[in-house]
Structure formats: C-alpha cells, structure tokens
Amino acid sequence: MLLMAGCGMSMYYWADVARRMPGSWLAAFDRPGLGGTRWPGHLPSLAQEVATLQQVVHELGRPAILVAHSMAALHAEALLLQHPESVAGLVLVDPSIEWPSKRYSSSPGAWHVRAMLRGLELLPLGALTTRVQQMGAWSQSSRGISRMARDGLASVYRDPQAIAMAVAESFAFGQQAWDLQVMREQRPLRPVPTVLLTAAASSESGISNGSRLAGLLRGGHVVVDDCKHMMMIDQPAVVARVVAEVARRSQPGLAPSR
C-alpha cells in the first residue's frame, strides 16, 4: 500500500493511518522538493509526477495499492491509465476532482517560485513556516494532528525547498487536471478494486463529483461522516479499514511486513 499526500503535503500526514495498520506492507514518500530533496526548479507536469510515482512503485517491486489524497489522486489515476500493470487497487481520499472542458489558462510561472525561494533562503525559517503549514491543514480538519505527525512535519517545512515545491504544485494543478482529462479520453481504463472516499463536509457538487469519478473508475463511493478534507487526520481508522479491504480484494495473498 503506497500512501500519497496531497498538494505540497508531506508523507507525515499519513502517520495516524499508518499507526492503525500494524503488520501491513506500507510505504509513503515525499515528491521531489519535499523531505530534504531540492525543488526541481519548474512547475511539475503530470507526466513528471507519474514518472516519479512509477519509479517508486518499481522500487517496491510489485503492483501497489495507491492511497491518494487530494491532488495526488490525479497522479494515481494517471498511473493507472498509463501503467495499469503497476496498480493493484485505488483508494482516493477526498480527491481533487476537475472536469476541464478546455486547456487551462496560464498561471504564475516557475520564475515566481524562484523569486520567492530566494527570499525564503534569506529568512530564518523554522517554527513559523511549520506553524503556517499546520494551520492550513487544521483549517481543513475537524481534529488535531498527532504528535508523531507534528514532529515529522516540523522537519519538513523548515526547508525553503519544501515551501517552494508546495507553491509550485499548487500553480501546476490546473494544467495537470487538463492533462488528466485528455488522458482519460485517449487511454482505455483497466479497472482495479477502487473506493473513493468523500468528506461529508464537502459541498453538494463535491459529493456529486465524487460519485461521478467513482463511476468512471468503476469503483465504490463512500461519504465519510465527521470529517473535512484532511480525512487521514479526521478519520484515520476509516481510511485504514478501507485500504485494508481494497488490499484484500486486490491482493489476497499480500504478505505482512514491517
């Protein structure tokens, strides 16, 4: 099971889910620019995000259950369309869903991010940027982040490279959504066991979009009560239970590991 965080988010946001899955074969990763690596210097394309994801799955040595939150759902679906042999199942956790009908208009470019990065590198970052990131997560959560997650996040968001990558991914979202829509029209879907989880706090259109995407992927759709967008924080037990069920359906012989 491969845990994939949303736009500009660290793998540490999955800490509470992982803690509820002892003995499971779990992996999580930070995309380039996060977790101590350097921001690549450009806005990430969908093709580049999929290439990174494919390499991670290759390193794991077997098809993966992709557990993708928010924007990472674009990357998970695109990997399924491009490399279906690498995907054993999907769990989309309050995914970002767009149905663009035309190419995305231009957004702030990489030079905006580079200029911001130069400024950040002159500042004594630390508790301030970590606090800002946590506040952003809390605004989309109905609960607090565990100490285990907080300690990991503190090590990530004191790095200017991580802030740059978070901004670059947010700028890249529209183009990635368009590229996925084109891919949907050009590549056939090979269905795998799939469950899409939508937060009950979502708007009516958000819940409707979740149902529509679940139908497109030929999967199940569950509206999860008592949570906001950061479902892995608000309802980690529900997420863990659904992931385990999809794993049983897709890989009944999956051996536990540490």
Assess whether pLDDT exceeds 90 at residue 3: yes
Average pLDDT over residues 191-220: 96
pLDDT value for 258: 36
pLDDT value for 167: 85
pLDDT value for 163: 82
Looking up tokens 């979009």 gives 209
Q: In what order do the strands lie in the sheet with 87-93?
A: 27-28, 2-4, 64-69, 87-93, 194-199, 220-224
Q: Which two tokens stand for residue 161?
A: 């490279």
pLDDT value for 256: 42
Q: 127-138 and 147-156 helices cross at what angle (nearest 10)?
A: 130
Assess whether pLDDT exceeds 70 at residue 94: yes
CB 110 within 8 A of CB 170: no
136-161 tens-digit pLDDT: 565 677 676 665 566 667 777 778 88
Assess whether pLDDT exceeds 60 at residue 253: no
Taking the C-alpha atoms of residue 255 and residue 204, their distance in angstroms, rounded to an integer, is 40
Assess whether pLDDT exceeds 80 at residue 231: yes
Q: What is the pLDDT of the chain when averaged over all its residues?
A: 86
Average pLDDT over residues 10-26: 91
Average pLDDT over residues 95-119: 74
pLDDT value for 141: 77
Q: Which two tokens stand for residue 92?
A: 């989309």
The domains located in the chain, with CATH, are: 2-250 (3.40.50.1820)
| pLDDT > 90: percent of the chain | 60
